[in-house]
Structure 1
């Protein structure tokens, strides 16, 4: 038995994660024969069969399952070692590619990123905006390191950590007559400005209205929170927005902000690949995003 090649070990993990040699080859940007060869060489070095084919899927044998548990620890140890060396040789914290929705990017991320930059001045941070499906796909394809998205999100390669419950609210011009309770039936009689279709934010609002027997027919649909607020401010209608888009800024005298009845929430979560190597910058960013949950729980406890 020989010490395993670390690259071959990574290839083995990806084959198991993706369920096939062809999918692993696509993920690793290698040919399928190259992936098969690396797994065979790993099996030869360990003198054990690690993968068996069950139907069309590649599954770990008993020996493969045993190796898989250690492989993740090995990956973590290697990443820590590389981080320690890099700290002494380059002084850099690395690069973090973060993906999220436009609302969270505008109203939630700035203070978090400010603290990260203060703690790690050499950290390179890039932020990409998109809807949940787009961000999740980019995380899976490893073109983005971390996603801050709206649940639900699925993917067997993901580690998903809920961090924030964001309440939706109604915003309306101050001169719009409104009853005490803002129900779907109430909004069916008012002109509405909603998010453009396709994202979880619009889907959540549509489902809330539909549960109240209302089929939304918005006056207009826009892709920008700030644009929607300006349309409401101009008196064109009312809108359902994530609470963070309203509470993060000083209250405007020309807008009314009201809770919905029944109340409506979306849950934001941090998404990262389970096999992602966490260097210093990525680990600190992940911790900062997960700390949102601690802050929210602290606010709830103080009420």
Structure 2
């Protein structure tokens, strides 16, 4: 047996009349005349097949069928109101789900403050955080596995993705604490020419790898890489054991290892670029909300310069 369709306006009229138990009061509350209200109730009763109200002179009460319908009517209208509110919240970017990829080293710099500020602005939003190196982030963005990425050394040109610079961070030398160069406050990269290096493998961050090796080549040598490690914390641990030295973003200094020394590299132009990446055609309204939060966190106002993609980079 087919279930009769119950139009929501008729349910609303029924619910108001069930609460008021007076046609005149219910009509006034609904903002309609009494005859249209009576017509709505009659149409609903025809669909149900039974009277929903018992009508007596000067008195209206719910019938047994009306009492049976009342909880379902309330649930239907409440569910609709909740659904409309949720749809408006998602559509306006106040709630919904945002999948974020981030480079592990950024958990030591921009990520905690960014997530804290974003959650304060949009407490209804659901955040799905994924720790990923740069190359997997770019692939995940193109595959729509994540919505936004925070990564190092983004590509100069990408037809599918947009990038905005978040910060420019200096590199530091990572040395065993007992290394002779650890007695210096700062050093030149050329002083590491004869040292074995511990670095991230190129496959997980090709541009960062090339940036570090390129700086070494500018200093007059090709680094002799003795060990690879996927995470910077592992790189530091291997340096601590004496397997080599490294060059890393300055935020790595927050990894506290007693047997490791971090020293400034001169000149200070040896820096790495951190950027946010996203799909320019992404329709998730939370993406521009996170970009707004990044802009507010860094400067408090939008910058009017644009990068090669037409995106607005943060001033360094």
Shorter-chain TM-score tier: 0.5 to 0.7
Question: Which residue, 127, 134, 143 being the options, matches 2:129?
Answer: 127
Q: Structure 1 291/88 Cα, relative in aligned 2: closer, same or farther at 3 Å?
A: closer
CA contact (8 A) 2:167 2:274 kept: yes
1: CA distance between counterparts of 2:153 and 2:114? Answer: 21
Q: Structure 1 240/93 Cα, relative in aligned 2: closer, same or farther at 3 Å?
A: same
1:265 to partner: Cα distance: 0.8
Structure 1 spans left out of the alignment, 5+ residues: 1-81, 296-300
CA contact (8 A) 1:95 1:282 kept: no
Q: Structure 1 83/220 Cα, relative in aligned 2: closer, same or farther at 3 Å?
A: farther
Alignment of 1:220-299 (within 5 A): 220-246=227-253, 249=254, 254-263=259-268, 264-279=270-285, 281-294=286-299
What RMSD over aligned residues (CA atoms) do the two structures have, in Å?
3.2
Aligned residue in 2 for 1:190: 195
1:170-222 deviations in Å (ceiling 9; x for gaps): 12122211156523331122232222222132221111112222122123111
Q: Structure 1 250/221 Cα, relative in aligned 2: closer, same or farther at 3 Å?
A: closer
Alignment of 1:20-31 (within 5 A): none
SS at match of 1:144: coil
Aligned residue in 2 for 1:39: none
1:202 corresponds to 2:209: yes
1:109 to partner: Cα distance: 1.4
1:161 corresponds to 2:164: yes
CA contact (8 A) 1:107 1:245 kept: no
Q: Which shifted more, 281-290 or 84-93?
A: 84-93
Q: Which protein shows a greater Rg?
A: 2
2: CA distance between counterparts of 1:185 and 1:194? Answer: 17
Question: Could you state the TM-score of these two structures normalised by the residue count of structure 2?
Answer: 0.58
Q: Extract structure 1 runs of 4+ deviating beyond 6 A.
A: 88-92
1: CA distance between counterparts of 2:171 and 2:113? Answer: 22
Question: Could you state the TM-score of these two structures normalised by the residue count of structure 1?
Answer: 0.60
2: CA distance between counterparts of 1:132 and 1:290? Answer: 21
CA contact (8 A) 1:172 1:233 kept: yes
1: CA distance between counterparts of 2:103 and 2:93? Answer: 31
Structure 2 spans left out of the alignment, 5+ residues: 1-83, 301-314
CA contact (8 A) 1:162 1:293 kept: no
2: CA distance between counterparts of 1:158 and 1:88? Answer: 23
1: CA distance between counterparts of 2:168 and 2:263? Answer: 17
Q: Structure 1 221/292 Cα, relative in aligned 2: closer, same or farther at 3 Å?
A: farther
1:210-247 deviations in Å (ceiling 9; x for gaps): 2222122123111111111222233333221111222x
How many corresponding residue pairs? 212
